[in-house]
Amino acid sequence: MSSEKRQIKNWIQNGEYEQAQAQLKIALEMNENDGELFYLYASVCDPQGFEREAVPYYEKALELGLEKSDEQGAYLGLGSTYRVLGQYQDSKRVFEQGIKKFPNYRPLHVFYAMTLYNVGETNQALEVLLTQLMETTNDKDILLYQKAIAFYAPQLDEVWDQ
């Protein structure tokens, strides 16, 4: 990693987004094929409330290619950004692409559940969240009911009336 990227990442970690963004603009002018720079730029837009500005940078970062952790973050950032902008179908599409590529990256599933809620797929949203809970919890009391929760999660509207 270059010292320039290291400095930019330090500014981002310290919440110095304006400095990072200014340096990223310069870096992007000199290197238009660096997916990581596009991802970093998008990442500094979001916390400043510039979600619309972030979208093309996330998209370009994914198009150019990223290392695994940055690619996961780009799918999460782009899907989440679309969601907060009310572009729910785009959000759903991005999360589904990300989950297909990284099925074990749990944050994608959790943010995807929020999008499912927004598009009215509440049963599916709750199923996704319950599944993530069952696969990650260490709470012994919840684990006592793991089989029941896993059984009911995909059929929340089912009524057993004998």
Looking at the predicted structure, is the pLDDT value of residue 102 above 60?
yes
Indicate the residue type of 130. Answer: L
Give phi and psi for 67, each to the nearest 5: -70, 160
Catalogue the long-range contacts made by 76-80 (C-beta closer than 8 Å, 24 or more residues apart). 76/105, 76/107, 76/108, 76/111, 77/39, 77/42, 77/43, 77/46, 78/42, 78/54, 79/108, 79/111, 79/112, 79/115, 80/46, 80/111
Residue-wise pLDDT tens digits, 6-59: 999 999 999 999 999 999 999 999 999 999 999 999 999 989 999 999 999 999
Please tell me the distance from the alpha carbon of residue 117 to that of residue 122, in angstroms, as a whole number.
Answer: 5
On the question of pLDDT at 161 being above 80, the answer is no
Q: Note the CATH architecture for domain 3-120.
A: Alpha Horseshoe (1.25)
The CATH 1.25.40.10 domain(s) of the chain lie at 3-120
Which pLDDT band, with edges at 50, 70 and 90, does 162 fall under? low
